[in-house]
Structures are given as C-alpha cells and as structure tokens.
Structure 1
Amino acid sequence: MDGVTDTDSRYEAVRSRDARFDGVFFFAVETTGIYCRPSCPAVTPKRHNVRFFATAAAAQGSGFRACRRCRPDAVPGSAEWNVRADVVGRAMRMIADGVVDREGVAGLAARLGYSTRQVQRQLTGELGAGPVALARAQRAHAARVLLQTTGLPVTQIAFAAGFASVRQFNDTMRAVYAATPSELRAAAPRSGRTARRTPTPTAGIPLRLAHRGPYRPGPVFDLLAHEAVPGVEDVSGPPGARTYRRTLRLPYGTGIAAVDERTGTARTTTGAHPGGWLDARVHLTDPRDLTTAVQRLRRLFDLDADPYAVDERLGADPRLAPLVAARPGLRSPGAADPDELAVRALAGRDEAARLVQRYGKRLDAPCGSLTHLFPEPGVLAEAEPDSTLGALAAALADGTVRLGPGADRDEAREALAAVPGLDERTIAVIRTRALGDPDVAPPGPDVPDSWRPWRSYALNHLRAAGELEYR
C-alpha cells in the first residue's frame, strides 16, 4: 500500500475509485463541504477542489460532512494502527478500545507514559486531529450504525456509542452528518430499514464488522474451533456456516458475542475487491461497553489488516506464492482478551478448561454452553502461586506484563522473557495473538527475513496448508 503519500498519487487513487485505499486516507471537496472514501462512486471532483486527510476526524475537524453515498466513516481504520509500535499507533489502538471515553485524554497519556500535551501534539501533527476529535469521530460512527441498523431507543444509542449525554450526542450528530438522529434513522438504506429491529436479550445488538479486501474466514474459524475452551467459547454449525460465540469481560459489565463465518461482500464500480463484513451479535449487560466489545472482536478476527500489502510481499516468495494464491486475504487472528490469551497459551486448552470450571466467574444469566468468564489473572495468581502459570498471572495482575491494545510490544516481550519458566515458543504465541504483532518468528521453523514484516501471516499460511501444526 505504499506510493500514496503524495497528493498526486492520492488523487489518482480517487480518480480510479481504488477501494484498496479506503480508510488509508480520505478526500474532501471544497465546493460541496463533503468528505469521502477513495472509492466513492460519485463524479470525480476537480483536483484543485480536493483536500486530503489522514483520518475522518481530521476531515470533520475542518468542517466537512460525511458523504451519505459512500459513508466514509464506515470503512475499517488504517491498517497502520495495528502494525505500528510507536506512540501514535499505540494511541490509536487505545482510542479504538474506548480509553478516551472512559478515562479522558489524561488517562490515555498516562497509559502511554507521556504528558497530555505530548500526546496531543503527536496525534495532531501526524493525523490532523487530537485524541478528543478521534474519539468523537468513532462515537459518531458507532451511533449512526446503531441508528440505521437497530431499533434501539435513541437515548440508549447515545450511551452505547460512548457519549456522556444526549445533548452531546445530538450536537455531534448534527455537526458530523448535518442531520438529527431521527433524520439519520429515517435516511437508512432500504435494506437497513427492512432488517432493523429492537434487539432482544437472546439476539443481541446486530452488527456488521467491516474488513477491507478479501477475507478467508475458514482458517480463522478452524483455529477458534480447535482451541475453544468449554464454558467460555463454542463453535457450532457446519464448515462454511459456523458461528463462534464467547463470553466477554468488559469495563462496565459482561457480554456475549456471536460472529458468523459466512461473509458479506460490498460492491465496487472498479472491479477490485472492496472488502465486506462479518455478521455479529453482541449482548451486553451495560450498553456503554459496545465500542470496546466491537474493537475486541475486530482484533480477534484481524479485521483491520491490509491484505493487499501482506499478499503482495508474501506472494513474491516462491515457497509462499501458491499458498497466497490459494488463500488471498488470510488473516492472523488476535485475542478478545489479551491476558486470557496469555494464560491459555501457556496452559493449553484442557488445563484452561479446568481453570474456568474451578476459578472462572459464573455468568448471572448463562446462555447455552456459555456459562463462565475466564478467571482473572489476580485470581489465578492466588490460586496457583507456585508455578509458571502463577508467575505469569501475577505479572499480568500487577502490571509487570502489559498486553492491552496500547502496550509497548518491545517492553512486553522483555517482561514476558523475565517470567520464570516461560519458554520462547509460548512468548512467540503471546506476541502474535495477544499483542497482535504481525512479524513474529517463533523458534524452530525456517522463517526467512524476506517475509518481514509479515512473518506471523506467513506462518499462518503454512499452518492453513498443513505444513505446520497449530499449537
């Protein structure tokens, strides 16, 4: 995805309606006051009327409204934020997880280890918007989706999207979309109006988890089925039409999420693969957890990856070329709960199931086979003190090892290496899954440097082809 850093290249991407760059940048039209994604099907504006922005928040901050035709706010965020390990990348991952909504800019800065002024300066300098504006844009998008795809009451939508008050919600929606919440609901596409319904406790809130480019759900669901821990997860249905369900521990309460294997596909006017979505449902005990729950599912299913960049690099390798051609868009699954994944990477599936039954918190309202939350690190540290598992759990509980969305990957790797008894292969799994590191090479297999910076994806191709075993 290189080669679009200059304005001429970006304009060419707009002129050719290239869906590969949706979310990588946005363009706005001075004469209309509207901003769009590069693949917008509208007539291409004249070059001198176009401005480019790194984020939707920057376009909104400059006074532009989201296009109602291409809905630029709905595209996956730039894949950079999942790949980059610097302060901006870490900040973007935490903003997506709802840290600013819950803890403010001061909380974000404290987690990053910088002053609020430094964080503001770095984000504004690179992205054209500070943390408050970026979080505001995220809230507005979440609210619009709920307005147009569910029958939830407007007040409930305001708090589910992360707004502090209904008044703030109304003011933001008018500023971003030049429409009231009621007008946005009435303007929903016909398919959205037909499908819209008030969520029920069993159905949950219906969602479309968007991805860019091709997506191969089969190997992801194979892995999730292989490692599913009873009581916390289950996978049901025949291959190609499976549903993955799991329990979630969230900042304000608990949740149950379900994601379907079958993918939906968007249309494009250029013939390029524009992306699509996975259908999901989320049932929450507190609606304020919606944004966080969605982002954790996105990380688990690796929905913000850039398959074009990955496939281009790995497809140039003679060994991997036929594997990439057979499975374009193969992803590197992450984790819905990084601390849980770390414990499971060490313990294995059977031992993890024992831990759930013995130490996991039972749900107030179990749903079928989903009965428990995975035990918290602090509980495991007390229960299993004289073991590597206890040492890892204690390090997670006291913050010695930090694996959350804004974790510093290098610091986390060093902290994991200091846990007594934790071997390099387990550390590699934790880095790949819990930290979302796209470039991990575990000890053992021959992993050439030419696969950088996508070695995690290369190994997933080998596993999907049966050349490596799932661990």
Structure 2
Amino acid sequence: MSDSRENPSPERRTLECVKEAPGAAESRQDPRYEAVRSRDARFDGVFCTAVRSTGIYCRPSCPAVTPKPENVRFYPSAAAAQQAGFRACRRCRPDASPGSAEWDLRADLVGRAMRMIADGVVDREGVGGLARRLGYSSRQVQRQLTAELGAGPVALARAQRAHTARVLLQTTPLSVTDVAFAAGFSSVRRFNETVREVYALTPSALRAAAPRGSSGAADGDGLALRLAHRSPYAAAQVFDFLGRRAVPGVEEMRGEPGRRTYRRTLVLPYGVGVASVAEPARSRPGGWLDVRLRLTELRDLATAVERLRSLFDLDADPYAVAERLADSGELARLAAAEPGLRSPGAAEPHELAVRAVLGQQVTVASARTLAGRLVAAYGKPLPAPDGGLTHLFPDTAALAEAPLDEVGMPEARRTALRALAAALADGTVPLEPGADRDDADRALRALPGIGPWTAGYVRMRALRDPDVFLPGDAGVRHGLDLLNCAPSHAARWRPWRSYAVHHLWRAAAESTPPTTTKRPARANRSTP
C-alpha cells in the first residue's frame, strides 16, 4: 500500500502544516492555533501545543486559558515537546492522548517505525533492533523520525516509558523501584531523571499528585486504566463484532448489550495477561474505554495497552473517515447512520491469521466453533483459569507439526493451516507491528490455500491497514447489491476502504439475504 494522501481531511491538512512549518503560531489564522482556541479534541494526538511562558505542553483541547499566539509553539509529538524542555500539563495529560491515525494509514518507514515503537520494540531490542526490522540503517531511521516528528526513536520510546511510569505510579501501590523497571527503564537513576524532566516532579511527588478519579486503581483484580479515543465511537458495533467471533477458552463476552464486558487472554513478550474491556454506556460522556489488565509481568503493560488499542481501533480518525465516505454518495447514508464505526484490529496478529484460515468458506459461527476446537486441543492452559478464559491461543510452532484431526476440517484446509503456521513461526510471513504490508501480502499468497480474501482479511485486521477492500466476500457483495453499486465503486472510498467494508457488512447483516441471487462458489461466507 502506498502512502495515500488523496483528498486529505482537515486533520491531515493540519498535520501537514505541523510538518511544513513547525514553531510559533504567526497569527490567529494559523489552523493549529484555531484548533487550540476552539479546544478541538479532533486534534488531540495530532500535535502538541507548548507555551513558552509556562514551560508546559498540552493537548489542543486543554481546558486551560488559551495562550497568546506569540507564546505558543507547536510540536508534532509529545517527545519533541519534551526534548525542547517542556513538561506535560497535569490537567489535560497530553501524554495520554489518542494516537495519530496517520501511523496506521502510512506504509512508509515512519509509519512502520511508529507502530513498532508503540509495541515496545525499542525497549526490548534497542534502536538497532528497530532498524533491522525496518530494513534500514539506524542513522536513516533516526534522520527520518527526527525530520517528521522532531524526535528520534530513543526519545519517542522514552516518552512512552514516561507515560507508562506515570500510570503505574498513580494507579498501583508498586514501589518506585518496581515501577522503574516495569515501565522499561534500565536504571532507577534514569527513571528519576526522566520523570523530573517530563513532569517537573519527583516520582514520589507525581504519585502524591494523582487526581481523584484518575485513570484507574489497582486491586486484586488487576490494573484499571482508561484508553482514550476520538469520539464518536460506535462501541456497540465493535462489541457486536468481537462478540460474534469470541473463541471459547480464549475470549468471552459477558453481560447484555449496552453493559457488556469483552475479556480475553494475551500472549505478551515477557508473560501472559487477561484483559477486560467494558462497553461504555451510550449516555456516558468522555472519549475512553475502561480496561482492566492482569499481567504476570508488568513490563508488558505498554505492549498490552497498544495491542488493545489496535483491537478496538482506538487511534482511528472518525472525522476523516466520515468526510471521505460522505462524499462517495453510495455510502453516505450508512456512514451517517453509524457515526464512529471502527475497523477492529487484532490483539495477536499470528492468532488472527490462523483464525482467518479457519474462517475460509464457512460462516462466522462455524469458524468460531473450529477455533474453539483448535484451542481445546492445542492451546496452552492459562496458569489460573478466569471464568470462561481457560487457554492461551495455540503457538504457531506447535500447530505447524500438529495433525489437526481434532478440529474437523478437510485435509486441504489442514495443509493450508500447517503451512501458514510454519511460515509464521519461522518469520517467512511477517506480521509483527510495523511489518511491510506488501511483503506480508505476497508471502501469504505464496502459501498453499491462501487466496485474496484470506490475505486481505489478515492485512485489514492483523496489519491494521485502513484501506483494504474484499470484493470476494459474500457480505461485501450483498452490501454492494443493497446499494446498487459495483465493486469498482470502492475506488471512491480510498484511503478508508476497510471502514467501507464494515459498513457493507453491517448493511448485509441487518437485511434479509436474497434467496435468488447466486454467489460464486468460491466467495467467502465469513460475514458478520
């Protein structure tokens, strides 16, 4: 996928302004200053506002008194503002802003690097490891990130560690030393220095300054957090989507619509975890999801949070999506009826790829049954079963050698699943955060039994590509029929075709399937 910049939204145009003209607001007509003056939350995470007279940087939507234009500096990232000597505002907490949708949209070096940094690659493997994964030199990665974000990979990872440290200090009873290492710092001294620089407080003072009703509280059930998103957010649609696909043993959905809790097990770099995500009430104000995490290793906190953000598509830009689809004619009515519709990603990319093969040519309910059998036969038992959560999803290396007789699939499908598992285990198919999407697509299609639908579905969800269209999917075809439009019309929905697919799926699911229209024999039937 190319770095699409067709028909940019107002937010993307503002982001271009940040890149092309960093620095002070020269007049009240600067679109960034207008966003600050109107406290426009759409721009939270797109850029930061720093005020020279106070030494503080904020979200554009910060409720504080609007600073004078001559005192304002704009930075494309929190890390850049921190490097310039500004500390995070304690009122709006800009370090907890939603991430930028730019990084999912872009398939270039910077976009891929940002996805990897968010997943903790720099903390685990250093800048050298990040560069090797990207296929560039460390110097090239440093230069590109600094040019576009005002900070290199070390500073960007440091900003993320500082945010994790603040969350742990203010929501857990962990000692300062334990927080330092759990947040990914290599030494307590470096941890202390970073916290003072970023928040202008010592770690102990930062803990004491925790506001009432802050992002969460720790107890015997784990760490409670709030994960920010841009509103509107069609939470019911996301919970419907995940609930229909919840794999027994690995996932479960509790409660009634409007009061549901999605729960699942997680395989993380240092240990395992259990995540619980509450469906927000329609009447509740605020742009966040309430999450509770139980981790065997607190070092996995930042990675677990990022993977949940991916699963629930929390960094999406609903304004840009709505603007594009509203201009397309055919989808305008559907987009208006379901504002803030999301394209859910994946908590574990390898798991999603295996499940995509299980879902070939069968209904969602059947795919869920097959996945449950696979988990029961080959999944690793959870150290401490938690309600309906009993297993971790099977390891791909184990599946590559498994007979798979217990699952109940045709031999051709079992062969395809083993080939995919082997390719995932040895890295032939790269699906880690920030993987090159085109390379992964080619590698997937080279495997036996993997066609355009499977590769596209994996690309959409596991690789968080917002611009995937699935013309061979039965639900998509049905949705297109309802709109009286041809697959070729999808070109009008770039670069947000993944969201268009979800609108078509919703339309198909809410209508009575036609009984006279024949589908191609190979059209995939895995629709919502």
Both structures adopt the same fold (TM-score exceeding 0.5) = yes
> How much does 1:443 deviate?
2.4
SS at match of 2:242: helix
Whether 1:249 aligns to 2:271 is: no
Once residues 196 and 393 of structure 1 are traced to their aligned partners in structure 2, the CA distance between those partners, rounded to angstroms, is 38
Q: Which amino acid aligns with 2:98?
A: P
> How much does 1:206 deviate?
0.6
> How much does 1:467 deviate?
5.2
Moved more, 14-23 or 328-337: 14-23
Once residues 210 and 15 of structure 1 are traced to their aligned partners in structure 2, the CA distance between those partners, rounded to angstroms, is 22
Once residues 317 and 214 of structure 1 are traced to their aligned partners in structure 2, the CA distance between those partners, rounded to angstroms, is 20
Contact 1:298 1:304 in 2 (8 A): yes
Assess, with a 3 A threshold, how the Cα gap between structure 1 residues 266 and 28 changes in structure 2: closer, same or farther.
Answer: farther
Structure 2 counterpart of 1:352: 371
Whether 1:430 aligns to 2:451 is: no
Whether 1:66 aligns to 2:71 is: no
Structure 2 counterpart of 1:388: 416
Once residues 29 and 332 of structure 1 are traced to their aligned partners in structure 2, the CA distance between those partners, rounded to angstroms, is 36
Whether 1:199 aligns to 2:256 is: no
Q: Which amino acid aligns with 2:317?
A: D
- The equivalent position to 2:157 in structure 1, one of 135, 138, 145, is 135
Whether 1:414 aligns to 2:436 is: no
Structure 2 counterpart of 1:377: 396
Q: Which amino acid aligns with 1:470?
A: T
- The equivalent position to 2:106 in structure 1, one of 64, 84, 99, is 84
Structure 2 counterpart of 1:272: none
- Per-residue Cα deviation, 1:178-225 (whole angstroms, up to 9, x for no partner): 001221122122223xx964421xx11111111012111111111111
Once residues 325 and 150 of structure 1 are traced to their aligned partners in structure 2, the CA distance between those partners, rounded to angstroms, is 41
TM-score by length of 2: 0.84
Structure 1 counterpart of 2:385: 366
Structure 1 counterpart of 2:233: 215
Question: 1:283-362 residue pairs with structure 2 within 5 A?
Answer: 283-347=294-358, 348-362=367-381
> How much does 1:146 deviate?
2.4
Q: Which amino acid aligns with 1:16?
A: S
What is the identity percentage for the equivalent residue pairs of Structure 1 and Structure 2?
Answer: 67
Structure 1 counterpart of 2:501: 459
- The equivalent position to 1:161 in structure 2, one of 151, 176, 183, is 183
Once residues 34 and 133 of structure 2 are traced to their aligned partners in structure 1, the CA distance between those partners, rounded to angstroms, is 39
Question: 1:88-237 residue pairs with structure 2 within 5 A?
Answer: 88-192=110-214, 197-200=217-220, 203-237=221-255
- Per-residue Cα deviation, 1:331-381 (whole angstroms, up to 9, x for no partner): 000000001000001113222212111111112211122111111111111
Once residues 207 and 104 of structure 2 are traced to their aligned partners in structure 1, the CA distance between those partners, rounded to angstroms, is 32
SS at match of 2:280: strand
Once residues 13 and 233 of structure 2 are traced to their aligned partners in structure 1, the CA distance between those partners, rounded to angstroms, is 23
> How much does 1:266 deviate?
8.9
Whether 1:3 aligns to 2:13 is: yes
Contact 1:342 1:434 in 2 (8 A): yes
Contact 1:95 1:131 in 2 (8 A): yes
Once residues 265 and 75 of structure 1 are traced to their aligned partners in structure 2, the CA distance between those partners, rounded to angstroms, is 22
Q: Which amino acid aligns with 1:44?
A: T
Once residues 160 and 311 of structure 1 are traced to their aligned partners in structure 2, the CA distance between those partners, rounded to angstroms, is 39
Once residues 186 and 61 of structure 2 are traced to their aligned partners in structure 1, the CA distance between those partners, rounded to angstroms, is 34
Q: Which amino acid aligns with 2:125?
A: E
Once residues 219 and 176 of structure 2 are traced to their aligned partners in structure 1, the CA distance between those partners, rounded to angstroms, is 13
Contact 2:216 2:225 in 1 (8 A): no
Whether 1:443 aligns to 2:471 is: yes
Moved more, 461-470 or 347-356: 461-470
> How much does 1:39 deviate?
1.2
- Per-residue Cα deviation, 1:212-263 (whole angstroms, up to 9, x for no partner): 1211111111111111111111111000111111111111111111111125
> How much does 1:129 deviate?
0.3
What runs of 5+ residues in structure 1 fail to find an aligned partner?
268-274
Once residues 119 and 365 of structure 1 are traced to their aligned partners in structure 2, the CA distance between those partners, rounded to angstroms, is 42
- Per-residue Cα deviation, 1:62-115 (whole angstroms, up to 9, x for no partner): 101111222111101211112111110110001000111111111111111111
TM-score by length of 1: 0.94
> How much does 1:418 deviate?
0.4
Once residues 299 and 418 of structure 2 are traced to their aligned partners in structure 1, the CA distance between those partners, rounded to angstroms, is 32
Once residues 3 and 434 of structure 1 are traced to their aligned partners in structure 2, the CA distance between those partners, rounded to angstroms, is 28
Once residues 313 and 387 of structure 1 are traced to their aligned partners in structure 2, the CA distance between those partners, rounded to angstroms, is 41
Question: 1:10-29 residue pairs with structure 2 within 5 A?
Answer: 10-29=32-51
SS at match of 2:151: coil
Contact 1:151 1:196 in 2 (8 A): no
Contact 1:428 1:441 in 2 (8 A): yes
RMSD in angstroms over aligned alpha carbons? 1.8
- Per-residue Cα deviation, 1:446-469 (whole angstroms, up to 9, x for no partner): 252111111110111122233587
> How much does 1:29 deviate?
1.3
- The equivalent position to 1:261 in structure 2, one of 271, 279, 299, is 279
Contact 1:154 1:181 in 2 (8 A): yes
Once residues 387 and 187 of structure 2 are traced to their aligned partners in structure 1, the CA distance between those partners, rounded to angstroms, is 35
Once residues 330 and 238 of structure 2 are traced to their aligned partners in structure 1, the CA distance between those partners, rounded to angstroms, is 22
Contact 1:223 1:470 in 2 (8 A): no
Once residues 122 and 196 of structure 1 are traced to their aligned partners in structure 2, the CA distance between those partners, rounded to angstroms, is 36
Contact 2:469 2:490 in 1 (8 A): no
- Per-residue Cα deviation, 1:423-455 (whole angstroms, up to 9, x for no partner): 211112111111111111112332521111111
Contact 2:505 2:527 in 1 (8 A): yes
Once residues 287 and 216 of structure 2 are traced to their aligned partners in structure 1, the CA distance between those partners, rounded to angstroms, is 19
What runs of 5+ residues in structure 2 fail to find an aligned partner?
1-10, 18-24, 359-366, 405-413, 478-486, 511-525
Once residues 422 and 387 of structure 1 are traced to their aligned partners in structure 2, the CA distance between those partners, rounded to angstroms, is 11
- Per-residue Cα deviation, 1:363-402 (whole angstroms, up to 9, x for no partner): 2211122111111111111114960111111111111101
SS at match of 1:190: coil
Q: Which amino acid aligns with 2:328?
A: D
Contact 1:237 1:243 in 2 (8 A): yes
Contact 2:216 2:226 in 1 (8 A): no
Whether 1:470 aligns to 2:527 is: yes
SS at match of 1:430: helix
Structure 1 counterpart of 2:54: 32
> How much does 1:158 deviate?
2.1
Contact 2:217 2:225 in 1 (8 A): no
SS at match of 1:3: helix
SS at match of 1:229: coil
Moved more, 105-114 or 311-320: 311-320
